[in-house]
Structure 1
């Protein structure tokens, strides 16, 4: 039994796949991963073979947010051209290692998933698309994401009408590239790129308490729970010393999201944390948050075990990625979500609705706006609610998904 996992996106797309890969391997299945080259070190640490897809995601994201293009190749000018390039490089990489695979699981950008799906069709093996939050999947209970450059007409408010518009937008953005490639392979063209890639039975790797899939709905969604990869790494000695030197700090980090002005964000965050009488713990991440000078009440970390760290902080200020939100919720830590794009406004809304933190208004924090949000997050009732929600979140979503996948292809775990 061999499973091919394909993920083109940021770290938030890759980490859950690692969790699934480790559970599959524990059940006796072989695993091959295809992901951006940024994550070679992460996968190597778990002994997972990587076939790199395309260019560095970090470099492209940084170029898109900051305008700094160092280290990136010239990009095609249109969305259709970019989609066609991503489809071609993904198909080439996936097809090269797909022989002998019994199933394909894909996530991330639609064009990359479409290429992986074409490989599965050619091999005649099962294919599944996984989303990490409900609002990527059509439903009468919530609206779709708003795609850049595709604003929603203000007079369209019905969810079904919004999802019809979403289908049209995705066909406009990716339809020509997907179908041109499919026809070149001898595969039939598709009427709806979105519905084709997602299928009528997509997987939802999110916790039902944090992000429930509401029924009835047209799709037969398989919600497995969140996929969490294990992390047993100890803290660096200097981080441990900082944690032990005073009261729990406030963590500030934006994960694999670049920001336009890291200095301004750092300054606003530190000042807001100090205004609450707290110490600050900055995560450098792809935003390159960094301290200047000797600031004894502040500390900066790089790659670290967040699962353990979040249990030792007073609150967490972050971008609102699915993985960070779930990890913080499992730790029982109050959150302030400063959403930047994509699924992050959704997670900000869920954090506020659940009463486990605050949703910052917009992507650009100031000292005043962060300080106000932290007042909510640091209130005793917020921590009590966060602890109650944490107790309701299991950690076995990846194990559930691995068993379901192997059962679906006729393999019984040992």
Structure 2
């Protein structure tokens, strides 16, 4: 079977889909993974076919405006306001992203499409090609449940109707931001107008789209009222390549003293990465510990670092984290899991609310995300 996988976002939005692709390839399927061009080598190094998508959206997120948006991604109202401000810039990029991924889909000639929620055009690609489609979600933000609100919403004493509404609101707002490009694409490719053309949970015929949540049901949300087509599978880990070796400079730094503290914020360094870098350096120095600062996609200013702090761009977490004394990060799903499996007596993770909730459930068996204090 030819399978076309599409994902949009940072490294954390790409790696689980690469792991999925490798698993499907091992089972005998032919895989094409379409994502931003900056990740082409990452995809091909793992033996998967690559489908081109331009890098403009990630470049925007790496700008001052984009960092301002990412700084407030745990507050749904701030996300809405930021999206409104960015709409004029994002609109043309959405059209380009749709066209790029559609061209890649045609070239892949798939029998099945698997898509990330931000790759909102893919249910329509599947409809045009007459093939099935499946949604893969890293976090439980889209499928409604009466048991708990969607991430980013407070837990309020309004019962199940409010909880379900929070998911519907997320879907509505996402739909409003993508409706124009989707409507234009459908019209250009001979598909009929559809009032639900931005619903990523259903086909245009109203059928449920199968949904996989790529986290453990023992850690993340797994409510009893999810429909049968929605499941939490477990985490999809990407095994290290035997040919991969850490940089010699990093090995020398690790060997030169006590295990350092890892600090990384993924794509969420906020509007002032220089200030955040200063805070991190001062905190490490006050604690009298060595540190590793991961710059990644967050724009952290790592010029003129002291000898006790090492700058790192990207590295497999499963190799690095067992070699550090603590992990301080932004709460991304993949980073949280990698940090959470460390020996608890000597490791710690400091994260954003969603990641903190995962970690505290792993360690202490309690739910912190919706606490008001």
Residues 98-118 of structure 1 show CA distances to partners (whole Å, capped at 9, x for unaligned) of 32x221111141xx33x2222
Question: Does the C-alpha gap of structure 1 residues 316 and 136 become closer, same or farther in structure 2, counting only changes over 3 Å?
Answer: farther
Residues 4-53 of structure 1 show CA distances to partners (whole Å, capped at 9, x for unaligned) of 11112221111111111111222222111111111012123223221211
Question: Does the C-alpha gap of structure 1 residues 187 and 284 become closer, same or farther in structure 2, counting only changes over 3 Å?
Answer: same
Q: After TM superposition, list the pairs within 5 Å mapping 1:350-389 onto structure 2.
A: 350-355=358-363
Structure 2: stretches of 5+ with no match in the other structure: 69-85
Q: After TM superposition, list the pairs within 5 Å mapping 1:12-411 onto structure 2.
A: 12-63=12-63, 64-65=65-66, 77=88, 83-95=94-106, 97-99=107-109, 101-109=110-118, 112-113=119-120, 115-145=121-151, 158-192=162-196, 193-194=198-199, 195-196=201-202, 199-218=208-227, 220-232=229-241, 233-257=244-268, 259-293=270-304, 295-332=306-343, 333-337=347-351, 339=352, 345-355=353-363
Q: In 2, are the aligned partners of 1:140 and 1:217 still within 8 Å (CA)? A: no
Output the CA distance in 2 between the equivalents of 1:236 and 1:356: 36
Q: In 2, are the aligned partners of 1:2 and 1:29 still within 8 Å (CA)? A: yes
Deviation at 1:250, TM superposition (A): 0.8
Q: For this pair of structures, how many residues does the alignment match?
A: 338
CA RMSD of superposed structures (Å): 3.2
Question: Does the C-alpha gap of structure 1 residues 219 and 166 become closer, same or farther in structure 2, counting only changes over 3 Å?
Answer: farther
Q: In 2, are the aligned partners of 1:282 and 1:300 still within 8 Å (CA)? A: yes
Out of 311-320 and 158-167, give the one that drifted further: 158-167
Report the TM-score, using the length of structure 1 for normalisation.
0.72
Question: Does the C-alpha gap of structure 1 residues 166 and 290 become closer, same or farther in structure 2, counting only changes over 3 Å?
Answer: closer
Output the CA distance in 2 between the equivalents of 1:227 and 1:98: 23
Q: In 1, are the aligned partners of 2:135 and 2:211 still within 8 Å (CA)? A: yes
Structure 1 runs (4+) deviating above 6 angstroms are 154-157
Question: Does the C-alpha gap of structure 1 residues 356 and 196 become closer, same or farther in structure 2, counting only changes over 3 Å?
Answer: same
Deviation at 1:93, TM superposition (A): 3.2
Instruction: Tell me the secondary structure at the aligned position of residue 88 of structure 2.
Output: coil
Deviation at 1:131, TM superposition (A): 0.1
Report the TM-score, using the length of structure 2 for normalisation.
0.79
Question: Does the C-alpha gap of structure 1 residues 356 and 41 become closer, same or farther in structure 2, counting only changes over 3 Å?
Answer: farther
Deviation at 1:278, TM superposition (A): 1.9
Residues 272-328 of structure 1 show CA distances to partners (whole Å, capped at 9, x for unaligned) of 233333211111212243444462321112222321111111111111211111222
Q: In 2, are the aligned partners of 1:54 and 1:90 still within 8 Å (CA)? A: no
